[in-house]
Amino acid sequence: MTLALGVLVSGSGSNLQSILDACSDGKLDATVRVVLSNKPGVFALERAARAGIDAVVLSHRDFSSREAFDGAVVEALRARGVDTVVLAGFMRIVTPVLLDAFRGRVINVHPALLPAFPGVDAQRQALEYGAKIAGCTVHFVDAGMDTGPVIAQSAVAVREDDTVESLRARILSEEHILLPAALQWLAEGRLSVDGRRVRVLDAARR
């Protein structure tokens, strides 16, 4: 099936760009219906404009609660026919209001090998811990902080001379590969979820 994506962003949108590029190159069976940011003026909105995609800004500061904000997000997504939500650098914890509206169809990319280093600044967490292997995770979103079932992970060796910036850049390159791939598996109906375990089925076994 062709996914109808709503991509939620808070920053530069490089993972959004990886999705747009994969769609354009025929590697991802999807269309981005809307890009929604909780912050005005971020470069992700410019990326959406350049691609001719509807862009919406909903500042979380304009709402009295996370639930009220997520209700407005759901309304904007449904109005544009979205069936799958991607958190691509979206710096907000989502609530059951969003998760229930798109049950089993909310996906996040996180710059760590979960369950290690959840939350913000995962690359710095990895360096300060002295981890030798870092990486990124694509996972289904649940009500916790980066606790949903893992779809796929990609490892990155931590170098002796790494800084937060250099490690972030190498992990981000892996994110740009892993996120579109995981979305394509979803589009192909190849993801089987059994509790917390997610299997990627062979194409012949779909």
Q: Which residues are catalytic?
A: 110
State how beta strands 3-9 and 30-37 pair. Answer: parallel
Tokens coding 20: 């747009």
Residue 26 DSSP one-character state: T
CB-based contacts of 183, cutoff 8 Å, min separation 6: 3, 5, 19, 22, 28, 30, 84, 86, 107
Q: Which segments of the chain are extended strands (E)?
A: 3-9, 30-37, 55-57, 84-87, 106-110, 133-140, 150-157, 191-194, 197-200
Per DSSP, the three-state class of 151 is strand
Question: In Å, how far from its chain's centre is CA 29?
Answer: 16
Tokens coding 26: 């025929």
